[in-house]
């Protein structure tokens, strides 16, 4: 079976070495030694200070919205994983959808200002498949109108834009460390914040509001990463660079295989050092996608329809027409991409797709 992704597991003995430290310390939660070690190593690796490790990748979105959005209208993209919109609604804010750029697949920054009202408090934009939004223009618009910017950077581990970490943009950036991601802690995530005062508030919020054992700094929630998760992250981190290198080889194989087809691929923004986290292809029409998906499934190959459906069609949001997002979400398919895929498997995938396209 070939799934759209496959969790990288480090050598068991390396994970066990970290588990041994947990057993010796008898501390599993509440900011143990491994939590601080992982935080320090990630900040150095990513070139992004002020990182807060969390139990998953959705909690950072919720905390950022709780702190910055104030139950207002939040301008966002309809082309993302459902967690982006769900977090907005969960935090009693109102998502206001802005359509996407048809090539970059990120929020169309030229349409943001038209969506701003007196109730708008924030912009929550997704760096889709690790491809950055137009951060300069988004931030300019936000400053002009006094809005906060949160970037859903779930797919962006290791991505750089103009020689600095993509996590350094916006008021808050968030990331997912789910098992399907390039870097993972089994389940986990992080939020990044440049402003020391805001960072301090976010930190309190992710730990019930605790300042210390008996004092609190406002309302908080339990979003803490535990030591078992941190141990996995420490065991995985040394292999990230080699995994990205292997992913690039697979990405290049796909790209070369489809160069003479009508398939469209994501356009990466200039100045991006990418992480090759996904390989999305856009078909001419949905029926063609469904034929390819069916043919691959028969061979126990399981690509995934990221992102489908367009989030402006969810039952718990106010409907708004977003033609590009609705169209592309019906025609886009992410092909299997992970470091251990071999040439034989890649040939089966690409040939199967080519056969359907020639029909």
Together in a domain, 205 and 330 = no
Q: Given pLDDT bands bounded at 50, 70 and 90, which one contains residue 359?
A: confident
DSSP state of 240: H
Model confidence pLDDT, tens digit, residues 54-107:
999 999 999 999 999 999 999 999 999 999 999 999 999 999 999 999 999 999
Tokens 């390039």 correspond to what residue?
182
- Are 233 and 252 members of one domain? no
Whether residue 297 is found in the same domain as residue 207: no
pLDDT of residue 65: 98
The per-residue pLDDT for 149 is 98
Phi, psi at residue 228, to the nearest 5°?
-65, -40
Number of domains in the chain: 2
Residues 91 and 54 in one domain: yes
User: pLDDT by residue (tens digit) across 149-189?
Assistant: 999 999 999 999 999 999 999 999 999 999 999 999 999 99
Last residue of a domain, one of 218, 238, 258: 238
What pLDDT, on a 0 to 100 scale, did the predictor assign at position 109? 98
Query: Of 212, 238, 264, which closes a domain?
Result: 238
Beta pairing, strands 189-192 & 51-54? antiparallel
Summarised one tens digit per residue, pLDDT across range 344-357 is 999 999 999 999 99
What confidence tens digit (pLDDT) does each residue in 258-277 have?
Answer: 999 999 999 999 999 999 99
Q: Which of 134, 138, 137, 129 has the alpha carbon at shortest distance from 157?
A: 129
pLDDT at 195 over 90: yes
Instruction: Look up tokens 């089966």; give the residue.
Output: 348
Angstrom distance (rounded) from CA 150 to CA 187: 21
Do 254 and 173 share a domain, yes or no? no
CA dist 4 to 142, 263, 277, 282, 297, Å?
36, 18, 11, 16, 11
CATH number, domain of 139, equals 3.40.640.10
Same domain assignment for residues 29 and 145: yes
pLDDT band at 10 (very low <50, low <70, confident <90, very high): very high
pLDDT tens-digit readout, 204-229: 999 999 988 888 999 999 999 999 99
Structure tokens at 68: 């910055």
Domain extent, residue 101, equals 2-238
């Amino acid at each position: 079976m070939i799934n759209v992704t496959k969790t990288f597991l480090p050598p068991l003995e390396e994970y066990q070495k970290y588990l041994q430290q947990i057993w010796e310390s008898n501390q599993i939660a509440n900011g143990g030694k491994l939590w601080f070690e992982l935080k320090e190593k990630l900040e150095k690796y990513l070139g992004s200070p002020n990182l807060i490790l969390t139990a998953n990748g959705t909690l950072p979105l919720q905390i950022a919205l709780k702190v910055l959005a104030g139950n207002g209208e939040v301008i966002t993209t309809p082309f993302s994983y459902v967690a982006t919109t769900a977090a907005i609604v969960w935090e009693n804010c109102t998502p206001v959808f802005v359509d996407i750029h048809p090539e970059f697949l990120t929020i169309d920054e030229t349409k943001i200002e038209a969506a701003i009202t007196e109730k708008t408090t924030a912009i929550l934009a997704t760096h889709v498949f690790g491809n950055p939004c137009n951060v300069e223009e988004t931030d300019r618009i936000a400053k002009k109108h006094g809005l906060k910017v949160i970037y859903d950077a779930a797919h962006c581990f290791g991505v750089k834009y103009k020689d600095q970490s993509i996590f350094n943009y916006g008021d808050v950036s968030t990331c997912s460390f789910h098992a399907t991601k390039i870097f993972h802690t089994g389940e986990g995530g992080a939020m990044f914040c440049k402003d020391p005062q805001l960072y301090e508030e976010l930190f309190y919020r992710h730990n019930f509001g605790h300042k210390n054992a008996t004092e609190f700094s406002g309302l908080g929630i339990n979003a803490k990463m535990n030591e078992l998760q941190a141990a996995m992250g420490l065991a995985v981190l040394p292999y990230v660079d080699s995994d990205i290198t292997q992913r690039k080889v697979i990405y290049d194989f796909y790209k070369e295989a489809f160069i003479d087809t009508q398939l469209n691929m994501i356009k990466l923004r200039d100045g991006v050092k990418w992480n090759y986290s996904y390989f999305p292809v856009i078909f001419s029409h949905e029926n063609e996608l469904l034929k390819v998906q069916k043919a691959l499934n028969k061979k126990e190959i399981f690509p995934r329809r990221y992102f489908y459906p367009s989030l402006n069609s969810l039952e718990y949001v106010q409907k708004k027409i977003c033609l590009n997002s609705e169209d592309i979400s019906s025609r886009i398919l992410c092909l299997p991409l992970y470091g251990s895929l071999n040439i034989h498997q890649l040939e089966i995938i690409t040939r199967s797709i080519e056969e359907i396209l020639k029909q």
